Structures are given as C-alpha cells and as structure tokens.
C-alpha cells in the first residue's frame, strides 16, 4: 500500500490569547502588530507573489545557492537524517533537498496543518520512500516538536531568512532552542545579508505594490480577529532601511487622523502615526556565524551567491 503522510496539530493558538496580544500592541505607543498576522490565507498568497517579484531577490538568490551547492552540503551530512522544515508552506524548498541529502523522514511544520495537507500529500507521491509528517504549530515563540517526530538525528531547515524577522536577541534565543531540538544533527539556515540600501528598499517597496497589499492586508486580518474597524484606504505602506539597526522596517502609516474602534475600546491615530508591522534584519555573514557559535553550534560552513547578497549556513550540533 502507498505511504501517506501523518498530521499532528499542536496547541492551536487560543482566540483569547490572540486578541489580548493584538489589543496590547494596538494600544501601545508606537502601535505594533506581530508580523505573524501578515499571514492569513490571502497574506500567504501575497507573500508567494512577492517571492516572484524581480525586486525581491531573496528567494531566487537562496534557490541559486542550493542549486549550486547541494552536493557540497550533502558531503557534510550523514544519510538518513530527519529533515524538519520550519515554516514549510508549500514544501517546495524542502522537496529539492530530500533526494540529494538522502533524507529518510520529512517533517513539515507550519502554523496550521491545513496549510500543509495538499502540499505534503502531493510530495509523498513523488517520494514514497520518505516517511512524512505534517505538524501544525506556532513555533515562533517556543520550539517544541511533538514526540511523533521521533528520536533520530534531525536537520532543522529554516530557509528564506525567516530568522531575519527576529531581533538579534530573539534570534539567539531561537537558535539556542534549535540546538537541542536537532538531536545531534544540525541546522541548515538561509540568511539575508547587508547590501546597498536601494536594493533593500526596492525589495520591500516594489512598484507593483504587492508588498504594500501584503502589509495593508494585515489590517483586514486584524479586523477579522478582534472585530476592529480599520479602513484600509486610511493607511499607507512604508518600508525603509534602518541602517543603525541593520533592518528593513515595515509600517502602516495613517493618511489622516482616524479613530479605530473594537468591542470595548478604541484608539485614535494622528495623521502620520504608524503601526510597526515587521522588521527584517540584514546580517553580516561573520556576525551570523558568531551567533551560531554563541548558540552552541560548531563546524559551521557557509555558501553565498557571487554578489554576496545571501548566505546559507550549515551548522552541526
């Protein structure tokens, strides 16, 4: 009989906790909403469109590094590892690693198993030799994998420079959680690097305005989650490089003075006032290597593209 993937849902975020987190951020000065709320069903599609934009070099550059260096990466790793794909989405990136890295078990983790079901079932048909497990979990605040993942050595896979959406302190904390979670295996991670400001800012403020739609869609999502009455036309997308902090910042800026209401409270925003929605840190490769060492990893290898725009690190436990 053909193999089929197994699915496990871990602690679905509680509605009350989501509301409390969002309302706390909306009342803060400056207001802030976690970037995880960029990803409702439409937000995930808009992000997929972003990855196709000529200006958004990250996805394409990372893919070119994997295409060129996959054999060198395989040389560093034993066969039979469990590949744990953190934020798997459509499982496309991991699909290209399964054969070359001689993976025996593939674990796709994403915020909800519903996002994983179709992609994992399709992938299983192409790789009947690999055991597959889908895990629904919001691992962004605490990385706890269910027992079903097994006790074999794991290669944690965290591509796309998602680590860049953490502050350096949060990134260190997350890498420290990854170290024991790898169970003697390692970590394969994609990291976006510093580069000319114009290149960075174009990637986060594209002329087609897909990134603007992605950012503004967060307000629709917040309206659904907390019953607020944000009017999207009142808000504009802002994205710029904060050089001192080495990060792209995304904000939503009020075009006029507005009062936003939700059950039980309201918040007035002056014209020009912003809601901070995302940071995307751009690392120096040496600094990121030092961070991996700080988190307990060793035998660190790195590969970059010809322009030195993006790096893939392989670190052993």
Is residue 278 close enough to count as binding ligand AVI by CB under 6 A? yes
How far apart are alpha carbons 12 and 264 in whole angstroms? 25
Burial 298-312 (b: 16+ CB within 10 A, else e): eebbbbbbeeebbbb
Specify whether the backbone of 61 is left (phi greater than 0), alpha (psi in -120 to 50) or beta: alpha
Q: Measured at CB, which residue is nearest to ligand AVI?
A: 280
Structure tokens at 313: 């690190």
Shortest gap between Cβ of 47 and ligand AVI (angstroms)?
A: 6
Please select the residue that binds ligand AVI; options are 32, 46, 58, 202, rule is CB under 6 A. 58
How far apart are alpha carbons 161 and 310 in whole angstroms? 9
CB 256 within 8 A of CB 234: yes
Is residue 211 close enough to count as binding ligand AVI by CB under 6 A? yes
Q: Of 132 and 250, which has the nearer Cβ to ligand AVI?
A: 250
Is residue 312 close enough to count as binding ligand AVI by CB under 6 A? no
Strand order in the sheet with 298-304: 6-9, 131-136, 105-110, 82-86, 154-158, 186-192, 310-316, 298-304
Is residue 164 close enough to count as binding ligand AVI by CB under 6 A? yes
Shortest gap between Cβ of 292 and ligand AVI (angstroms)?
A: 18
Q: Of 59 and 105, which has the nearer Cβ to ligand AVI?
A: 59
Compose the 16-55 pattern: x for residues touching ligand AVI by CB under 6 A, - for all others. Answer: ----------------------------------x-----
CB 226 within 8 A of CB 22: yes
Shortest gap between Cβ of 310 and ligand AVI (angstroms)?
A: 11
List Cα–Cα distances, 257 to 4, 173, 218, in angstroms.
54, 38, 19
Shortest gap between Cβ of 278 and ligand AVI (angstroms)?
A: 6
Is residue 165 close enough to count as binding ligand AVI by CB under 6 A? yes
Strands 258-262 and 265-269: antiparallel
Is residue 160 close enough to count as binding ligand AVI by CB under 6 A? yes
Is residue 59 close enough to count as binding ligand AVI by CB under 6 A? no
Q: Of 133 and 239, which has the nearer Cβ to ligand AVI?
A: 239
How many Cβ atoms are within 10 Å of 255's Cβ, its own excluded?
14
Shortest gap between Cβ of 165 and ligand AVI (angstroms)?
A: 5
Q: Which residues bind ligand AVI (CB under 6 A)?
A: 50, 58, 160-162, 164-165, 204, 211, 278, 280
């Amino acid at each position: 009989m053909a193999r089929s993937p197994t699915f496990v849902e871990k602690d679905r975020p509680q509605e009350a906790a989501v509301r409390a987190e969002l309302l706390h951020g909306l009342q803060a000065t400056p207001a802030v909403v976690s970037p995880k709320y960029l990803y409702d069903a439409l937000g995930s599609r808009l992000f997929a469109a972003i990855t196709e934009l000529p200006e958004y070099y990250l996805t394409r550059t990372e893919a070119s590094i994997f295409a060129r260096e996959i054999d060198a990466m395989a040389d560093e790793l034993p066969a039979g590892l469990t590949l744990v794909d953190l934020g798997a989405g459509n499982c496309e990136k991991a699909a290209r690693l399964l054969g070359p890295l001689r993976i025996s078990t593939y674990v796709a983790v994403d915020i909800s198993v519903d996002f994983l079901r179709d992609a994992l079932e399709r992938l299983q048909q192409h790789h009947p030799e690999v055991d597959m497990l889908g895990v629904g979990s919001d691992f962004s605040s605490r990385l706890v994998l269910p027992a079903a993942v097994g006790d074999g050595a794991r290669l944690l896979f965290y591509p796309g420079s998602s680590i860049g959406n953490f502050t350096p302190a949060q990134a260190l904390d997350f890498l420290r959680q990854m170290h024991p979670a790898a169970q003697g295996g390692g970590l394969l991670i994609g990291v976006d690097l510093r580069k000319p400001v114009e290149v960075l800012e174009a990637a986060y403020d594209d002329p087609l305005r897909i990134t603007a739609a992605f950012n503004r869609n967060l307000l629709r999502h917040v309206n659904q989650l907390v019953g607020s009455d944000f009017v999207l036309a009142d808000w504009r997308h802002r994205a710029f490089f904060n050089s001192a902090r080495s990060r792209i910042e995304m904000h939503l800026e009020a075009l006029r003075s507005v009062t936003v209401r939700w059950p039980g409270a309201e918040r007035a925003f002056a014209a020009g006032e912003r809601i901070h929605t995302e940071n995307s840190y751009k690392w120096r490769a040496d600094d990121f290597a030092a961070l991996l060492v700080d988190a307990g990893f060793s035998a660190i290898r790195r590969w970059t593209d010809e322009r030195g725009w993006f790096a893939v690190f392989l670190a052993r436990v």
